Structure formats: C-alpha cells, structure tokens
C-alpha cells in the first residue's frame, strides 16, 4: 500500500526510511546527541567500519545517512548480488577518482560476511591507502566472519534490536505521515493493535512496518478498525528470532544452559521454547541437556542423567512436536535438582593431569601377568583382591607413583554428594585398617 506521491508497490518500510540521523529511532550510543557516529559525521569524517546488528536494527539506513553526510562519493554494494570482481572494479574507480580529484569514496557493502575470508583480502589495499572508506553491514559476529587482517582495520559498532517503545514510535510515525506513510487513510487504530505489532516485531523495524502495512491493508479492505484481533489474524505467528547455526543459535543454547544452572525454571522453559519454536534441532537440545545433567548436577543427583537420557530417547523415538514435552520435563527436573560441579571439576583435573603426565607407567600391582616373563618382571606383584579384604577395600595404591595422594573428585554437601562424601570417608577408613 503506497502513500500518495510514492511509486506504486514501494514497501512502507522503504518509504519510511529516515532521511537524516535526527530521524533515526534507537541506537542512541551511535546516533544520539553524544553518539560516536554522529560526532564523527559532525566533524565531516568517516572511518572504515562494520555495523553489526540483527535484521531491522538500522544498519543500512545508518550507513547510508552517515556516508551521505560527508563529502564523498557513495556506492552501495551487496555481497549477495555481486562478487569480488565487481567490488575490485568499483575500488579501482574509487582509486582513480581520489587521485584525480582528491575525493574519497564510501563503499557500503551490505552483508559483508557473504564474502569468504580470502575474498575479503581484496578490500585491504584500498582501505589501507584511504582510497575507500569501507562501511560493511552484517548480522553475523565479525569476530568469526571477517578475517583478522581486515577486521583490524575496521571499527566495529554494535546495533541493538529496537525496544518496543521505539517500534511504537516508528509505527505511529508511519500512521501519521501523509506524505510517505499511511496518514492519508485516516484509519482508526486501537492501542492494543500497536502493542501487538511492537511485540511481534522482535525488535525488527522493517518487520514491524511490513506487518503494519499488511494489517492496514486488511482493515481498509474489510472496512474495519485496526485492532489486536486483526493484527494477530493477519500477522499470525511471528517467527521466534533464531538463526540456525548462526551466533544467535549459540546465544540461545547458552541462555538455556545458564538458566538451568541457576535453577530458574521459568527462564529455562522460555529459552527452550525459543529454541524449539525457532526450528532448533531437538537432538541438539537433548545433547545439551545431557551435558547439563553431568556438568551442573553431576553426582548431586545421578538420576538427572537418566531424565536427560529419557528425553533424548523420546526425541529419537517420538519426534517433534510430541517430544517437546519430554524436553521440557527434563529441563524442569534439571532446574530443580541439587547441583554440583564436583564431577565436572574432577574430570577437568584428571584431564589436566594426563596432559601434564601423558605417559606415566601403570603401577606393577595393577598389571595383568599372563606369562611367566611378565611375572618374573614383577607384573601383578602386590595386587590385593578387594573382595578378599575386610570391608572389600584393599590398602593398595592405584595411581602412578608421581600422582599418589592426588584427589580429583571432591564431593560437595549437595544432594547425593553428601552421602557420597560419607562413603568416600568410610572407604578411606577401611583402607587404613587393611
């Protein structure tokens, strides 16, 4: 639905793009009164940078506005639609322009992470020489997606998802603007409709405006007010913000793990739902729950591993969506179980000991002696069969000589580990009596 004077078919989100830094909503740290990019542009400067943020946070808009505000030729370039060959041609032209006129070129590269790390090397000489000011935009973590040489020459600025109130501001602006927006329609819009649109946007301004345009179109066609019910019917179910295999995937699984570790049932269920609703592989989630059961609950409740394993079994044999409840059950169990990282700490200590002493010989008393030669060399000498000892514990050292007395596993007083600690103390007493 186009506004009066706009080309037919131009999406509302494009029509409502801010025309100046002052019109931008959100990203105060960058474009607010004391924002770093606003101060930079105010001085007529612009450095090579990468803008990192989620979809609809304003990366492209900010790049275009900042580039337009300085005395430079501005060229936009999409890493999706074009390749390195085209980029090299543009950069060569920029070099010639600077040599002839002294004027620099701002090269805006959308989705710069789509160039592989070898291809990114093409930008290096032009950035270093100052022939271009490279402004890249990416939804992916630059630490992982940009090569080290290029990243070291760029400033990284992070854009955050817009808050609900900021989204509301954009929606209200679009509804009031008769030139570029929907103001000429004089449509009745209920407050709850705007709240629903802001909530369903996930902080994505473009998505919020697209949803608004769809809902307004339906309201006009049906000659009804724009209310919450219409918004929910038109927009239906907003997809959970989730990038399978991208950084957000790891952020979400980290949030789930750490919420369980902190015994926060409600937060854990929320992050689990975010993962599953967003399309995460339930087998991956089940594997993480198995890890949590041993890392964060451990021997404080050995049944936790059984619960997680049962959920993993349900994933394999029942599938989505039926297995979701089993994953939720295991998640809640892990949240409520007594927790201890003593097992996790013990295992790390044991691995560290192996790294420091990778080839310590097995004590002779623990070696099998199937041949006379081996027996003659002391294999098996001093071995004591535990079942023949009082209390079924022999006073026999089982660690290599260099590690005697080392304790890896130190149980806490949580849950079953309190009983385990008593058992270990009892074993130590029995060993001394034999």
- What pLDDT digit, counting tens, does each position of 60-78 carry? 899 888 888 887 778 877 7
Q: Which CATH superfamily groups domain 27-158?
A: P-loop containing nucleotide triphosphate hydrolases (3.40.50.300)
Range with the lowest mean pLDDT among 25-39, 245-259, 297-311, 346-360?
A: 245-259
Residue for token digits 């990284």? 156
- CA 277, chain centre distance (Å): 15
Q: List phi, psi (to 5°) of 138.
A: -155, 145
In this prediction, residue 104 has a pLDDT band, given cuts at 50, 70 and 90, of: confident
Collect all residues with Cβ–Cβ distance below 8 Å to 186 and sequence separation of at least 6.
none
Given a cut of 80, whether residue 434 has pLDDT beyond it is no
Residue for token digits 């337009």? 68
Residue-averaged pLDDT of the chain: 87
Given a cut of 90, whether residue 155 has pLDDT beyond it is yes
Q: List phi, psi (to 5°) of 315.
A: -60, -45
Residue 106's beta-bridge partner residues? 74, 133
| Among 249, 220, 251, residue whose Cα is nearest residue 234 | 220
357-433 CATH pick, 1.20.120, 1.10.3710, 2.60.40, 1.10.3470: 1.10.3710
Give, in order, the Cα–Cα distances in Å from 420 to each of 367, 378, 426: 28, 35, 10
For the segment 282-299, the average pLDDT, to the nearest whole number, is 95
In this prediction, residue 5 has a pLDDT band, given cuts at 50, 70 and 90, of: very low
Given a cut of 90, whether residue 297 has pLDDT beyond it is yes
Residue 402 in tokens = 């260099």
For the segment 209-225, the average pLDDT, to the nearest whole number, is 89
The answer to whether the beta carbons of residues 138 and 50 sit under 8 Å apart is yes
In this prediction, residue 4 has a pLDDT band, given cuts at 50, 70 and 90, of: very low
Given a cut of 80, whether residue 246 has pLDDT beyond it is no
The answer to whether the beta carbons of residues 292 and 340 sit under 8 Å apart is no
CATH code at 247-336: 1.20.272.10
For the segment 240-255, the average pLDDT, to the nearest whole number, is 72
Residue 137's beta-bridge partner residues? 51, 110
Residue 6 burial (CB count, 10 A): 16
Collect all residues with Cβ–Cβ distance below 8 Å to 387 and sequence separation of at least 6.
none
DSSP string, 73-120: EEEEEETTT--HHHHHHHHHHHHHHHHHH--EEEEEEETGGGS-TTGG
Domain ranges of the chain: 27-158, 247-336, 357-433
What 3-state DSSP class applies to 31? Answer: helix
| Among 296, 291, 303, 307, residue whose Cα is nearest residue 342 | 296
Range of 46-55, 124-133, 331-340, 417-426 with top mean pLDDT: 331-340
Residue for token digits 């501001």? 169
The answer to whether the beta carbons of residues 147 and 120 sit under 8 Å apart is yes
Give, in order, the Cα–Cα distances in Å from 11 to each of 6, 81, 186, 209, 231: 10, 20, 19, 9, 18
DSSP string, 286-349: HHHHHHHIIIIIGGG-THHHHHHHHHHHHHHHT-TTTHHHHHHHHHHHHHHS----HHHHHHHH
For the segment 47-66, the average pLDDT, to the nearest whole number, is 90
Alpha-carbon span 168 to 198, nearest angstrom: 6
Q: What is residue 236's predicted lDDT score, i.e. its pLDDT?
A: 67
For the segment 275-292, the average pLDDT, to the nearest whole number, is 91
For residue 298, the 8-state DSSP code is G
In this prediction, residue 340 has a pLDDT band, given cuts at 50, 70 and 90, of: very high
Q: What is residue 242's predicted lDDT score, i.e. its pLDDT?
A: 53
| Among 323, 279, 327, residue whose Cα is nearest residue 307 | 327
Q: What is residue 114's predicted lDDT score, i.e. its pLDDT?
A: 85
What 3-state DSSP class applies to 229? Answer: helix
Residue 431 in tokens = 């060993």
For the segment 187-197, the average pLDDT, to the nearest whole number, is 90
Residue 323 burial (CB count, 10 A): 22
Half-sphere exposure of 192 (CA within 13 A, CB side): 7
Residue 7 in tokens = 């080309």
Q: How far apart are the first and last CA of the chain?
A: 89
Residue 422 in tokens = 């008593």
Given a cut of 70, whether residue 245 has pLDDT beyond it is no
């Amino acid at each position: 639905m186009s506004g009066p004077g706009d080309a037919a078919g131009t999406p509302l989100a494009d029509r409502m793009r801010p025309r100046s830094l002052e019109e931008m909503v959100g990203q105060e740290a960058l474009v607010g009164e004391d924002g770093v990019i606003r101060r930079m542009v105010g001085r007529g400067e612009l450095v090579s940078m990468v803008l990192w943020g989620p979809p609809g946070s304003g990366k492209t808009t900010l790049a275009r506005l900042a580039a337009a505000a300085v005395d430079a030729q501005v060229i936009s370039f999409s890493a999706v639609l074009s390749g390195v060959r085209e980029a090299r041609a543009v950069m060569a032209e920029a070099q010639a322009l600077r040599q002839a006129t002294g004027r620099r070129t701002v090269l805006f590269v959308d989705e710069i992470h789509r160039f592989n790390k070898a291809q990114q090397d093409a930008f290096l000489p032009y950035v270093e020489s100052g022939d271009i000011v490279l402004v890249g935009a990416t939804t992916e973590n630059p630490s992982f997606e940009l090569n080290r040489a290029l990243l070291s020459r760029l400033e990284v600025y992070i854009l955050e998802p817009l808050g609900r109130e900021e989204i509301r501001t954009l929606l209200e602006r679009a509804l009031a603007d008769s030139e570029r927006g929907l103001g000429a329609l004089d449509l009745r819009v209920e407050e709850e409709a705007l709240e629903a649109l802001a909530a369903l946007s996930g902080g994505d301004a473009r998505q919020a405006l697209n949803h608004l345009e769809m809902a307004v179109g339906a309201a006009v066609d049906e000659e009804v007010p724009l209310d919450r019910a219409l918004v929910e019917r038109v927009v239906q179910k907003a997809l959970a913000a989730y990038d399978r295999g991208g950084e957000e995937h790891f952020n979400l699984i980290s949030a789930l793990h750490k919420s369980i570790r902190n015994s926060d049932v409600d937060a854990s269920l929320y992050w689990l739902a975010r993962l599953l609703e967003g399309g995460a592989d339930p087998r991956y989630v089940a594997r993480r729950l198995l890890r949590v059961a041993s890392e964060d609950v451990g021997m404080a409740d050995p049944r936790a591993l059984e619960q997680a394993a049962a959920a993993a079994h349900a994933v394999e044999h029942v599938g989505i969506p039926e297995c979701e409840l089993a994953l939720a059950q295991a998640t809640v169990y892990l949240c409520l179980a007594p927790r201890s990282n003593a097992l996790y700490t013990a295992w790390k200590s044991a691995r560290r000991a192996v790294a420091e002493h990778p080839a310590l010989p097995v004590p002779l008393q623990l070696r099998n002696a199937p041949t006379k030669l081996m027996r003659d060399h002391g294999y098996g000498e001093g071995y004591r069969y535990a079942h023949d000892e009082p209390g079924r514990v022999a006073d026999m050292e089982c660690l290599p000589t260099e590690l005697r007395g080392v304790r890896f596993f130190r149980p806490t007083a949580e849950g079953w580990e309190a009983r385990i600690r008593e058992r270990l103390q009892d074993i130590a007493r029995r060993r001394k009596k034999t």
